[in-house]
Chains A and B, each alone.
Chain A
Amino acid sequence: MRLIRYQTPQLSNWQSFDRLSSLRNELDRLFDLSWSGRDSGLLSGWSPALDVSDEKDHFVVNAELPGLKKEEINLSFQDGVLSISGERKQSKENKEGETFRSERHFGKFQRSVTLPAAVDSSKISASYKDGILAVTLPKSEAAKPRQIAVNVA
C-alpha cells in the first residue's frame, strides 16, 4: 500500500518536559521525511491524517478534515484507489486584525489510498461529522471472507 505520510504538525507538546515523548516525535519526523520524499505534503500544502480499517464486509477510510464544508471535499475512486482532495479556504475574518498565532493549514490537500482488496465502487458512501470524513467501501462479493464447509469424504 503506497501512502503519502501525514506530516505531524510541529507543535511544542504542552508537556515539554517529557523527554521521551519529544524523542519519539523526533524519530517520527525522521521516518516521515525519509519515507515520504518529494511527494510529502511539505511542499504542497497540507495532508490530513488517514485511517483505514477492515470491517470484514467493508472498509472504512477516515480522514481528519476539520473545518471544511461538505462541498469543499472531493472524493473519487478509480482502479482500487480512493482519492480525497479539496481546498480549505481561509475565512474572511482572518484577513483583518493582527495575527498572534497561525498554526492551522489552509490551501489544497490531496491524499490517495489503495484499498487492500476489491470493492464495489457503485456502493461507496461517505459522511462528514465533527471534522472527520468517513468513507465506507463495501467489498465486492469475491473479496468478502467466506466460511468453507469441510466435507467428510
Chain B
Amino acid sequence: MNTTFTKSEPQTVRNGGVAPRVEYVTPPANILESKDGYVLEAEMPGVSKDGLEVTVENGELTILGHRAPVDSKGREVYRESRRLDFRRSFELDPSIDTAKIVAQMDQGVLTLHLPKTEAVKPRKIAVNS
C-alpha cells in the first residue's frame, strides 16, 4: 500500500511567474451559536499555541496553524498525515464584537469564543406597573 498521492512537502506551484502559492490543509471545524455568541472549534493536530495565527480583517476571520517541524532522522515506513500547515477563513457575522474574541489551544484543538456585541444580545425588559 503506498501513499503516492499524499504530498510530502509543502508544495509551491508557479503560476506563470506570479508569486509561488503555498498549499494548506483545511482543518475540520464545528461552529455553534448561543445567545451570547459563537463558538468555533478547529482541529489542528501538531500545532502548538506558538504556531497559531488568528487574524480578523474586513469581516473575515483567518486561522493559520504552523505545524511543529518533525525532528526525525530516521526512515519513513508509512505516512498518512499531511505535512502542510493549516489555514481556513470564515466570514464573520457583523454582530460579532471582534475586540472580544478569545482564542484557546488545547491538544491540537483551537477554540474561539466570538461574543456578540451587547446591542444585539437578547435582553429582558422589566415591565413597570
- Chain B residues with CB under 8 A of A94: 30, 32
Q: Kindly identify which residue among B33, B43, B77 contacts A116, using a CB–CB cutoff of 8 Å.
A: B77
Are A66 and B107 within 8 A (Cβ)?
Answer: yes
Q: Kindly identify which residue among B5, B34, B76 contacts A51, using a CB–CB cutoff of 8 Å.
A: B76
How far is it, in angstroms, between the C-alpha of A93 and the C-alpha of B112 when the chains are bound? 13
Please tell me if A101 contacts chain B, counting CB pairs below 8 Å: yes
Are A54 and B75 within 8 A (Cβ)?
Answer: yes
Are B78 and A27 within 8 A (Cβ)?
Answer: no
Chain A interface size, under 10 / 10 to 19 / 20 to 34 / 35 or more = 35 or more
How far is it, in angstroms, between the C-alpha of A108 and the C-alpha of B42 when the chains are bound? 19
Chain B interface size, under 10 / 10 to 19 / 20 to 34 / 35 or more = 35 or more
Q: Kindly identify which residue among B68, B77, B78, B88 contacts A14, using a CB–CB cutoff of 8 Å.
A: B88
A82 to chain B, nearest CB (A): 12
Q: Which of B1-25 contact A (CB under 8 A)?
A: 1, 5-6, 21, 23-24
Are A64 and B45 within 8 A (Cβ)?
Answer: yes
Are A31 and B72 within 8 A (Cβ)?
Answer: no
How far is it, in angstroms, between the C-alpha of A21 and the C-alpha of B72 when the chains are bound? 27
How far is it, in angstroms, between the C-alpha of A94 and the C-alpha of B107 when the chains are bound? 18
Are A14 and B43 within 8 A (Cβ)?
Answer: no
0/1 string, B60-78, CB within 8 A of A gives 1: 0000000010001111111
0/1 string, A49-84, CB within 8 A of B gives 1: 111111110011010111111000000000000000
Q: Which of A101-142 contact B (CB under 8 A)?
A: 101-105, 113, 116, 128-132
- On whether A53 and B33 interact (CB within 8 A), knowing A116-B77, A130-B48, the answer reads no
- Chain B residues with CB under 8 A of A5: 1, 80
- Chain B residues with CB under 8 A of A13: 26
Q: Kindly identify which residue among A21, A28, A35, A59 contacts B1, using a CB–CB cutoff of 8 Å.
A: A35
Q: List 26 A-B contacts (CB under 8 A).
A: A5-B1, A6-B80, A9-B28, A14-B87, A21-B23, A28-B5, A50-B80, A52-B78, A53-B77, A54-B75, A62-B81, A65-B107, A65-B108, A66-B44, A67-B108, A93-B39, A97-B34, A97-B39, A100-B32, A102-B30, A104-B30, A129-B107, A131-B45, A131-B107, A131-B109, A132-B45
New A-B contacts (10) at CB < 8 Å, excluding given A5-B1, A53-B74, A54-B76: A49-B81, A51-B80, A66-B43, A66-B108, A67-B106, A67-B108, A100-B38, A129-B107, A131-B46, A132-B108
**Among all A-B residue pairs, the 5 with the closest Cβ atoms:** A131-B108, A66-B108, A55-B74, A67-B109, A131-B45
